[in-house]
Amino acid sequence: MSKKFSLPQERGYDQAYELSYEMACNRLKTNSDIMGQCVKAGVEYVTRSGKNKIQISYLGRFYYITLPGVEISPADSTEPVPVRDQLLILHYFNTANGMPVTGRLITFRELPSGPIYFPTFTKRTVSPIIEKYKKKPQKLIAAAAKLGGQQTSYGDVSVEIPAFPRVKITIVLWQGDAELPAEANILFDANIAGYLPTEDITVLSETITWKLVKSQV
């Protein structure tokens, strides 16, 4: 797979991520209603080892945002969290408007500015999933389970992955046959724009894609 697609971490965006991270930390530090924002984001405000923390689920694992210094760490280990993931966690929390999951699925094209970025989105997210799983679609279910995902009933195979407490990502795969090529799509609950801007939805989708592509199942 690495011969055909460049990993998103290798695209040289580290400096931009660092700047965005600082801005997101400052936004959190100046929030005067952390408890209210926790309610909107569907997360818990807890005290661990004498420190105040926001406990948030992200792709099947729990993470802590420790306050007031804004440090992000896994709840079950001491391993460092990549800046991309830290930024997604902060943006989800900061942006959350409290809109519940609707159960109505939309495509990337239906997001703000989605039609403009759709070709790039497809290349970075949908195409690698097709390439990896078109001949073994059932393995997509096992790979998604590692991210807390569950099988759903769309296409030939589909999975729903709870990226955040109120952000669900659905991946649908059609295996294809001798006449029709394999196809796939990534769908979002209609509430997603209330939790992440389109740029972050793209990064989140890329992150999920590459976790699925690299999964050993």
| Structure confidence at residue 1 as a pLDDT band (50, 70, 90) | very low
What's the pLDDT tens digit per position in 84-105?
999 999 999 999 999 999 999 9
Which tokens sit at 199?
């740029």
Is the CB of residue 137 less than 8 Å from the CB of residue 173?
yes
* Virtual torsion, Cα 155, 158, 162, 167, nearest 10 deg: -20
Let me know if domain 105-214 sits in CATH 3.30.310.
Answer: yes
In tens, the pLDDT along 151-177 reads: 999 999 999 999 999 999 999 999 877
Positive/negative CA dihedral, 175, 180, 186, 187: negative
pLDDT at 12: 52
Task: Look at the block and give the residue holding tokens 């196809």.
Answer: 183
In the chain, what are the domain boundaries? Answer: 8-95, 105-214
Query: pTM score > 0.85 for this model?
Result: yes
Range list of H helices, 3-159: 14-29, 34-41, 83-95, 114-121, 127-133, 138-145
